[in-house]
């Protein structure tokens, strides 16, 4: 009984805080939005399986800048390319804050690149971007790592001998190995049981965050911490990943040669030693663990899911696959690995890869931003501590930006002469100062891996092209493609 009385009391307190928050901002010129209920805000108005669709529908009434209450937390939602670009690029300094996503705060203890703000974020982002650009560093360049991993992928697919297989974890291992080379200085065999276990956990984390329960945790963490549910299992599993990261860091400490850094961890450890007498440094153990965790998590599942979706699209559209085969054969042939410099000679293949990213729309809500001070935007007043949701779905599927936004159409990225053309509304990695730190790596992986696969195989499924369902399996935080068995026939 006392337990439920405590929950009721907590609910009343949060309702009072919500009321005071609304009262204190009622005179501010907030963007328009639907009337909110105490404590639960506008949550009943949102499709729990695809909230981005609800936001898009409400924008027809309230316009491209709207106020919503997610529980008792105030959020401003930005709809369409113009609003998103104006905020994230034109007013970049006002929107550099990262929202305190409770799930990420819990798993990182507030450290690392993904959830940080201010000086911590500036130092860690600058260091991470510089280190990624330096790869080149050490024994091989990043492009060569990806090329070598594509050969491991081909060899593994060959073992299926044109029989059906599920590509999900095979592609996860492939993509993750590139991140592992960059961060840990090593790749793992496809049979490594610990590696497979970690990838299973990472996939589960993304599925959890894309589920209604995962979204509930981010809205009501204080409640979800005290009720049974899968969130407790997920957090326990994440501790396994953190333990793995900490073990690898210790191994690096034991073998570190400051004159010859091997990877990201070595570079960070060297920086820690250089700044050990600086009391305000952000280069310390907790930030290293959490940033490596960020890179490992973010650098695996989003890219591998995009590759998996690309294969589904090509099976669904065999005429597009055939045209890619012809272009790749004429430019690269069957013997050598594709290189990034081949992109300009493979405009159709490049257009298909871009259209896969646009059409999948893998993070439809974007990653929430946060106002670190009161700001003005389009004549509205947005108070400090407001979540800002740049709805990337509304940019990648906006009718005035794309000729056929609801259809898969590589012509979106081709001019009338068949040359590749850019579209400023292509923002799968977001934009501005908080754009994805691994964008250049992801672009390289997608191009080299997908072109390599099309060089070597024809993809199909035993049920035929019409059986492929391109609607995502999960549609909340992330649009995750459906699992299924495919056939890779050597060419």
Determine the pLDDT at residue 137: 42
* Helix pair 264-274, 118-133: axis angle to 10 deg: 130
Does the global pTM surpass 0.85? yes
Determine the pLDDT at residue 490: 97
Determine the pLDDT at residue 247: 95
pLDDT tens digits along 21-68: 554 444 469 999 999 998 899 999 998 888 999 999 999 999 999 999
Q: What is the DSSP string of 234-251?
A: HHHHHHHHHHHHHHHHHH
- Provide the token pair at 258: 């400051």
Residue extents of the structural domains in the chain: 2-490
Element (H, E) at 458: strand 457-460
- Superfamily covering domain 2-490: Cytochrome P450 (1.10.630.10)
Distance CA(396)–CA(74), nearest Å, equals 25
Q: From 391, 432, 396, select the one nearest 413 (Cα to Cα).
A: 396
pLDDT tens digits along 211-232: 888 888 988 898 899 999 999 9
Determine the pLDDT at residue 215: 86
> Are the CB atoms for 33 and 68 separated by under 8 Å?
yes
**Residues of the chain predicted below pLDDT 50:** 1-9, 20, 23-27, 137-139
Determine the pLDDT at residue 27: 47
> Are the CB atoms for 383 and 374 separated by under 8 Å?
yes
For 35, half-sphere exposure in the C-beta direction (CA atoms, 13 angstrom radius) is 1
Determine the pLDDT at residue 72: 86
Distance CA(139)–CA(136), nearest Å, equals 8
Determine the pLDDT at residue 7: 46
Determine the pLDDT at residue 142: 82
Who's near 148: CB < 8 A, 6+ residues apart?
A: 140
- How far, in Å, are 136, 239, 250, 297 from residue 246 at the CA level? 25, 10, 6, 15
* CA pseudo-torsion sign 123, 389, 360, 400: negative
């Amino acid at each position: 009984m006392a337990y439920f009385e405590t929950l009721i009391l907590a609910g009343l307190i949060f309702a009072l805080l919500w009321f005071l928050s609304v009262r204190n901002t009622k005179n501010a010129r907030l963007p328009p939005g639907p009337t909110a209920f105490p404590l639960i805000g506008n949550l009943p108005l949102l499709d729990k399986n695809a909230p981005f669709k609800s936001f898009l529908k409400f924008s027809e009434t309230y316009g491209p800048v709207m106020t919503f209450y997610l529980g008792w937390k105030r959020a401003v939602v930005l709809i369409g390319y113009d609003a998103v670009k104006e905020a994230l690029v034109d007013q970049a300094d006002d929107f550099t804050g990262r929202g305190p996503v409770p799930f990420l705060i819990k798993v990182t203890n507030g450290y690392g690149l993904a959830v940080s703000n201010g000086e911590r974020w500036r130092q860690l982002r600058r260091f991470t971007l510089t280190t990624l650009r330096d790869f080149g560093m050490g024994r091989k360049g990043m492009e060569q790592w990806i090329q070598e991993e594509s050969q491991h992928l081909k060899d593994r697919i060959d073992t299926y001998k044109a029989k059906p297989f599920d590509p999900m974890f095979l592609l996860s291992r492939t993509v993750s190995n590139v991140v592992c080379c960059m961060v840990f200085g090593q790749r793992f065999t496809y049979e490594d049981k610990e590696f497979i276990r970690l990838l299973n956990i990472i996939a589960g984390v993304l599925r959890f965050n894309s589920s209604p329960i995962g979204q509930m945790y981010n809205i009501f963490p204080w409640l979800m911490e005290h009720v049974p549910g899968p969130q407790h299992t997920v957090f326990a599993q994440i501790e396994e990943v953190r333990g793995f990261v900490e073990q690898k860091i210790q191994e690096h400490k034991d073998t570190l040669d400051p004159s010859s850094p091997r990877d990201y961890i070595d570079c960070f450890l060297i920086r820690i030693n250089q700044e050990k007498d600086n009391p305000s440094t952000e280069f310390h153990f907790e930030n290293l663990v959490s940033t490596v965790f960020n890179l490992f998590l973010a650098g695996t599942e989003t890219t591998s899911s995009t590759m998996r979706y690309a294969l589904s699209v090509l099976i669904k559209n065999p005429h597009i696959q055939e045209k890619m085969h012809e272009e790749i054969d004429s430019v690269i042939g069957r013997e050598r690995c594709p290189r990034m410099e081949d992109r300009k000679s493979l405009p159709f293949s490049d257009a298909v890869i871009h259209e896969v990213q646009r059409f999948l729309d893998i993070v439809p809500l974007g990653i929430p931003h946060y106002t670190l001070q009161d700001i003005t935007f389009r004549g509205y007043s947005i108070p400090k501590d407001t979540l800002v949701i740049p709805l990337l779905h509304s940019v990648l599927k906006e009718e005035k930006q794309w000729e056929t936004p609801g259809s898969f159409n590589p012509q979106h990225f081709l001019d009338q002469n068949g040359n590749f053309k850019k579209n400023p509304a292509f923002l799968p990695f977001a934009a501005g100062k908080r754009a994805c730190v691994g964008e250049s790596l992801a672009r390289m992986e997608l191009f080299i891996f997908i072109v390599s696969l099309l060089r070597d195989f024809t993809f199909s499924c035993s049920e035929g092209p019409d059986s492929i369902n391109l609607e995502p399996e999960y549609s909340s935080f992330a649009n995750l493609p459906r699992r299924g068995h495919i056939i890779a026939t050597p060419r």
